[in-house]
Each structure stands twice: as C-alpha cells, then as structure tokens.
Amino acid sequence: MSSDCIFCKILQGEIPSTEVYSDETFYAFRDINPGAPTHILVIPREHIPAITDAGEEHAELLGQMLLRANAIAREEGLPENGFRYVLNCGEWGGQTVFHIHLHILGGRPLGWPPG
C-alpha cells in the first residue's frame, strides 16, 4: 500500500466507494466520474503504480484481473451490446491515479478513436 495513493486509501476504507466486487486479490468499484452509464474500475490490492511497472511476477495477477473484469462485465449485462476495457499508462496516456486499474466502460455506443 502507498500512503499517498487514493486507490490504496479506498482499499483501506479511508475513502468511500461503491463496491462491485471484492476478494483477497482485487477490488472493483463504480467510478465517481463515469465516462459511460456503466463505468467500473478493477484494481489489484497490490500497489503497482503503472502497467509498465509490472514484471514477470505479475503475469498471473494481470491475467486474473482480466478474467475478473470479464465476470463483472457479464454480471453487468455488458457483453450483449459490447463494452470497452481501458488501461491508461502515464500522464500522456491519461493515467491520473498511479495504481494499476482497468476501466470497464459500457451501456452506450463508444466512439473511436477514444481520445
């Protein structure tokens, strides 16, 4: 955990969130500033600042994060019409919280290009 990370503070219960899923490895919650009708963030409990900081030792964690996101998307009814995963990296990539997080966006048509 990082003492100055907003997502670590959410994990520690210091900042409220709307929980969608929780287990010993991941926590998922609704984005407070949603970019789509369904906007959920999936975060690992381990603090990893950016996807480029992940190493070989995180391969299973990252794979499990995608599988957990798939289950959440199904529970939210998103696969029927389609949805998007977003994983931002670095300031120019749109990352504003430096704790790996996977966005699940759906519930409306999503344009391309995204940015």
Residue 34 DSSP one-character state: -
Backbone angles phi, psi at 70, to 5 degrees: -60, -45
Q: Is residue 101 a contact partner of residue 43, using CB atoms and an 8 Å limit?
A: yes
Distance between CA atoms of residues 82 and 100, nearest Å: 23
Q: How many CB atoms lie within 10 A of CB 78?
A: 21
Q: Is residue 47 a contact partner of residue 100, using CB atoms and an 8 Å limit?
A: no
Residue 66 DSSP one-character state: H
By annotation, the residues acting in catalysis are 101
